[in-house]
A and B are shown apart, each in its own frame.
Chain A
């Protein structure tokens, strides 16, 4: 029989084990959170309908791995709700206000601009200014669910 003894001076074995397991769990949640962030980035890119805007806040940049009380989290909702409010709209196909069709010039005269020519051109405010009144609802992109679906299969592989 092989007996392994380990001790840390002044600490009981259960305490040491608890500390070691705690560290390991934290390391595991970090690995998973980082992999999850990559999958979220990928699913946002995969479902992108228009070119990424050259300036301003981007959804991907607002989703970050963050240290929380007992490990790591991905995507702080409070930050997303301020810096990338459209996360909800893109994922579920409706805004947090409850609407599904974006506002247009008829509703808010300040909304004028033009679409950048080319495929997947983005709407840009400023000259030349044309009115724009969307008629189609935003489709649900389900980027959260897509990333989750991949991550569930990846967990075993990542924690080998």
Chain B
């Protein structure tokens, strides 16, 4: 059996897809130091990729802190999936604004999809709705910057959020 995406990857990808759609829906852009508008990119993955373009929102699942039984004797669980959203921008101050924007967008939760591979078009997997993921914010703060910091780290904001899903 080839194991396809399970719940963790489904949640991670649902969040990424949601943010990408919101960026498009809002035509979200930020100015660079020359006053040129740059579209905000949404990337997946824990490791920073030097080919990524700023400004960006980096999303990845970090841990699964909760798996409590819904009731005694039941194997159904109330699970949480903790995601890290690292926001990196070109100019100082933008990271906080973009952080506020992200929080506003995901505040009401997101639709979680179950993805299945699509061999005809791997970039667009088939999907069906799995449920609604509720969001709790765990932390939200700028990551301290330093003078010599790498360009990706000069203006960085981190949001930690739990996504809850019954089942």
List A residues at the B interface (Cβ < 8 Å).
43, 92-94, 96-100, 137, 139-140, 142, 145-146, 148-150, 152-153
Asked if A153 meets B65 with Cβ closer than 8 Å, knowing A137-B48, A145-B139, A146-B82, the reply is yes
Q: Which of A97, A98, A99, A149 has the most CB of B within 10 A?
A: A149
Q: How far is the CB of A148 from chain B (nearest CB, A)?
A: 6
Nearest chain B residue, comparing its CB with the CB of A46? B63
Q: Report 18 cross-chain contacts, Cβ distance below 8 Å, ordered by A residue.
A: A96-B144, A98-B147, A98-B149, A100-B150, A139-B46, A139-B47, A140-B46, A140-B84, A142-B63, A145-B62, A145-B160, A148-B139, A149-B65, A150-B66, A152-B136, A153-B65, A153-B68, A153-B80
Say whether A150 contacts B146, CB under 8 Å: no
Is B103's beta carbon under 8 Å from chain A?
Answer: no
Say whether B153 contacts A94, CB under 8 Å: yes
Say whether A148 contacts B138, CB under 8 Å: yes
List B residues at the A interface (Cβ < 8 Å).
46-48, 62-63, 65-66, 68, 80, 82, 84, 86, 136, 138-139, 143-150, 152-154, 158, 160, 162
Q: How far is the CB of B121 from chain A (nearest CB, A)?
A: 31
Q: Which of A92, A98, A99, A100 has the most CB of B within 10 A?
A: A98
Asked if A97 meets B146 with Cβ closer than 8 Å, knowing A145-B138, A153-B80, the reply is yes
Contact partners of A43 in chain B: CB under 8 A: 63
Asked if A100 meets B62 with Cβ closer than 8 Å, knowing A145-B84, A149-B82, A153-B80, the reply is no
Say whether A94 contacts B150, CB under 8 Å: yes
Contact partners of A148 in chain B: CB under 8 A: 138-139, 160
Contact partners of A137 in chain B: CB under 8 A: 47-48
Say whether B150 contacts A98, CB under 8 Å: yes
Q: How far is the CB of B87 from chain A (nearest CB, A)?
A: 13
Counting from the closest, the 8 A-B pairs by CB-CB distance are A98-B149, A149-B65, A98-B146, A98-B148, A145-B160, A149-B82, A150-B65, A146-B63
Say whether B84 contacts A98, CB under 8 Å: no
Say whether A149 contacts B146, CB under 8 Å: no
Say whether A93 contacts B48, CB under 8 Å: yes
Contact partners of B139 in chain A: CB under 8 A: 145, 148
Q: Which of B65, B144, B145, B154 has the most CB of A within 10 A?
A: B65
Say whether A142 contacts B62, CB under 8 Å: yes
Q: Which of B80, B150, B160, B162 contacts A99 (CB 8 A)?
A: B150
Q: How far is the CA of A80 from the CA of B136 in the complex (A)?
A: 29
